[in-house]
Every structure is written in structure tokens, then in C-alpha cells.
């Protein structure tokens, strides 16, 4: 028999966990009074299977937040452990599997000089901020960084109708992003930037490096775009999707019994917060956020604000793109 005291014990345990996260990993982004205001938007019930506030607390206690320090560390890893070794591998192959490390290092340095790191989207979006951190953390010169619009020389378009490269000596373009969810946004960039780039010079290497990537979105991009390499720093399999059969949120048998009710709660509010995508954009079902923003692939109950059809106070607000 479920009792009020049992309910209070669960709430106290979840509160303690959330407050520990708030004071450490979450960079004090979810103080308990703020959590209470967020919870009051959900219905309360004596039955734990129907108590939406308890459902929300359980989900919140598992929210994965990556602050500025963690993002900077991932950007260091991207350069040191992912991109630079990839360049060295390609150089060594080009040199006939050479073991002359001095020659390899010299050629790697030359190749890096002919590399450009490119921000995706508008200069005011998160990709530009990530590149700013990326340059700082890896002590790279600023002339290695450009916007996508700087790749092409459009001065002759009106006369000949052709597009050329602004700098034909560049041999690599690296696109850095925070999250690859469904892969559709990166696919659009690939069609608009990578495809015409490859038509001009097929030998140019292009790389897409999101800090985080859902396995399904990563595989989708590998199959439908002309990126030479798609490689997230951290790949998120289906266990990172809240209500997938493999979800890490419901491994405990007791919690597994609550999965349908918790999902129903998320869908009930999500239907109004993000119509057509109640569990996050393209059914993302993520429970992840960053210091600079919360992706719309995460559950809308976390991030939606009062601009949505249903007035809502978020706990990890998302700052959406604004179209005039």
C-alpha cells in the first residue's frame, strides 16, 4: 500500500540528488524554489503511477547538463584525440605508411595550415561560440577560422554563373557543432556547402564533428551526405533516449513499471509545447542540455518557455532561433 510517508521519502531523495547536481554539475541553474515552480505546472496525485510531479522529478534527476568547463574539455579532446590524429593518419597514408615521424610531423603542420574550421549557420548561433572556445583551448591562430560564406568566391557569379573557391590552397574544411540529433540540419548544410565544394574540387576533405551525436543521426549523415568523415566526440546510442526500449532511465524494475505513465505525462504536455514533436524534435527523447542552450531534441517539458501554445516556465530554458 502506497503511503504519503513513502511519497515523501522518494521526493526527499530526489530533492537531495537534484540539489547536489544544482550545486555542482548544473552550475546552479536549478535552485529548489525554481524546481518547485516548474513542478507546479504538473498535476499531483496520491497514486505514484499518476503523480505527474513525481514523474517530472524522476526525469529531472537524470538530466545531463554540460557546463562551460565540460564543453571546453570536449573541444580540447576533439582537436587532440580526434581531428589531429585523423590528419596524421591521412598524412602517413599519403607518405606510403612512412615511419619517419619527423617528416610526418612536418607534413601534418603544413596540412593544418591549409585547414579551415567553419561555423555552421548564422554567426550569432552556437557553432560560432564553440569555435571561439575551440580556438582558445587549442591555441590556434584565428586565421584558421572562417564562416561558411567565406569558402566561396561569388564575385564572378553574375558574369559566368560559376562559383569558385576563395582560397584554392585550402585542402580541409572542418565543421563543428554541439549536437547531431536527427541529422537533418547538418544534411541541409552539406547540400548547400559540401556538395558544391566537392563539385569544384573533389579532393578537398570535409569533416563534420559534433560534440554529441545520436547514433541514428550520425549513421543517417554518413549515408546521405558528402562529408568525408562524420565523427562525434561522444556518440549517444538509444539508451540516451528517454523512452526507448534500451533507455538507461528505466533499468530498475520498479521504475520500469512507471515508464508508460511517465511517457504519457511527457506526451500530454509535449503535444502542446511542441506540436508534432511531443518528445523533442524528430522524436529525440533526449534529456541533455548545455551551458549555452538546450537542444530542441530534448524533452520539451525541460526547455519550452511561454512563447509556446501552452504558457510554460522551463527549468533549462531553450533560446530558440527567432524569425522575423
**Residues 151 and 295 grouped into a single domain:** no
- Say which residue, 94 or 241, is predicted with more confidence: 241
| Over residues 6-33, mean pLDDT | 94
The answer to whether the pTM exceeds 0.85 is yes
Question: What value, to the nearest 5°, has the Cα angle with vertex 228 and ends 224 and 233?
Answer: 95
**Residues 27 and 157 grouped into a single domain:** no
Instruction: Please enumerate in sequence order all residues whose Cβ is within 8 A of that of 137, keeping only pairs 6 or more positions apart, or say none.
Output: 72, 75, 76, 79
| Beta strand ranges found along the chain (DSSP E) | 64-66, 115-119, 145-147, 152-153, 164-165, 172-180, 205-214, 229-230, 234-236, 288-290
Q: Which residues pair with 236 in a beta bridge?
A: 214
Of 236, 262, 292, which closes a domain?
236
* Count: domains in the chain: 2
149 in any annotated domain: yes
316 in any annotated domain: no
Quick check: 159 and 193 in contact, CB under 8 A?
Answer: no
Query: Which of 72-76, 158-162, 189-193 is most confident?
Result: 72-76
319 in any annotated domain: no
**Residues 22 and 72 grouped into a single domain:** no
**Residues 157 and 298 grouped into a single domain:** no
Q: CATH number for the domain including 207? A: 3.40.50
Q: Which structural domain range is residue 123 located in?
A: 68-236
**Residues 125 and 217 grouped into a single domain:** yes
Interval 98-154: pLDDT, tens: 788 889 899 999 999 999 999 877 776 788 899 999 999 999 999 999 988 899 987
Quick check: 312 and 41 in contact, CB under 8 A?
Answer: yes
Number of other residues whose CB lies within 10 A of the CB of residue 291: 17
**Residues 151 and 258 grouped into a single domain:** no
**Residues 31 and 126 grouped into a single domain:** no
- List Cα–Cα distances, 277 to 138, 198, 280, 295, 306, in angstroms: 38, 34, 5, 13, 17
**Residues 92 and 177 grouped into a single domain:** yes
Pairing of strands 152-153, 164-165: antiparallel
**Residues 253 and 229 grouped into a single domain:** no
Count helices and strands (H / E) in the chain.
14, 10
Q: Above 70 in pLDDT, residue 160?
A: no
**Residues 73 and 169 grouped into a single domain:** yes
294 in any annotated domain: yes
* 169/153 Cα distance (integer angstroms): 13
138 in any annotated domain: yes
**Residues 222 and 125 grouped into a single domain:** yes
Per-residue pLDDT, 172: 97
Interval 277-291: pLDDT, tens: 999 999 999 999 999
232 in any annotated domain: yes
**Residues 79 and 177 grouped into a single domain:** yes
Interval 97-112: pLDDT, tens: 878 888 989 999 999 9
Instruction: Please enumerate in sequence order all residues whose Cβ is within 8 A of that of 51, keeping only pairs 6 or more positions apart, or say none.
Output: 7, 43, 44, 45
321 in any annotated domain: no
Amino acid at each position: 500500500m502506497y503511503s504519503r510517508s513513502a511519497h515523501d521519502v522518494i521526493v526527499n531523495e530526489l530533492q537531495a540528488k537534484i540539489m547536489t547536481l544544482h550545486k555542482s554539475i548544473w552550475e546552479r541553474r536549478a535552485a529548489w524554489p525554481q524546481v518547485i515552480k516548474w513542478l507546479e505546472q504538473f498535476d499531483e496525485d496520491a497514486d505514484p503511477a499518476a503523480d505527474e510531479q513525481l514523474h517530472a522529478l524522476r526525469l529531472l534527476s537524470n538530466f545531463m547538463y554540460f557546463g562551460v568547463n565540460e564543453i571546453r574539455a570536449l573541444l580540447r579532446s576533439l582537436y587532440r584525440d580526434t581531428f589531429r590524429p585523423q590528419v596524421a593518419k591521412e598524412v602517413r597514408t599519403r607518405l606510403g605508411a612512412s615511419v619517419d615521424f619527423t617528416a610526418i610531423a612536418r607534413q601534418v603542420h603544413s596540412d593544418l595550415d591549409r585547414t579551415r574550421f567553419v561555423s555552421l549557420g548564422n554567426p550569432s548561433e552556437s557553432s560560432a561560440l564553440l569555435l571561439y572556445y575551440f580556438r582558445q583551448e587549442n591555441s590556434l591562430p584565428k586565421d584558421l577560422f572562417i564562416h561558411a560564406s567565406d569558402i566561396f568566391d561569388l564575385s564572378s557569379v553574375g558574369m559566368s554563373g560559376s562559383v569558385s573557391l576563395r582560397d584554392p590552397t585550402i585542402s580541409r574544411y572542418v565543421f563543428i557543432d554541439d549536437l547531431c540529433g536527427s541529422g537533418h540540419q547538418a544534411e541541409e548544410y552539406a547540400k548547400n556547402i559540401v556538395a558544391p565544394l566537392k563539385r569544384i574540387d573533389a579532393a578537398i576533405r570535409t569533416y563534420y564533428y559534433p560534440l554529441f551525436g545520436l547514433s541514428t543521426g550520425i549513421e543517417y549523415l554518413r549515408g546521405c551526405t558528402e562529408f568525408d568523415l562524420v565523427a562525434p566526440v561522444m556518440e549517444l546510442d538509444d539508451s540516451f533516449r528517454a523512452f526507448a526500449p534500451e533507455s538507461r532511465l528505466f533499468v530498475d524494475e520498479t521504475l520500469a513499471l512507471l515508464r508508460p505513465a511517465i511517457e504519457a505525462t511527457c506526451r500530454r504536455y509535449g503535444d502542446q509545447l511542441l506540436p508534432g514533436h511531443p518528445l523533442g524534435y524528430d522524436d529525440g527523447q533526449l534529456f541533455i542540455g548545455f551551458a549555452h542552450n538546450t537542444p530542441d531534441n530534448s524533452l520539451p517539458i525541460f526547455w519550452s518557455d511561454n512563447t509556446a501554445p501552452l504558457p510554460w516556465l522551463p527549468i533549462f530554458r531553450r533560446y530558440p532561433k527567432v524569425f522575423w
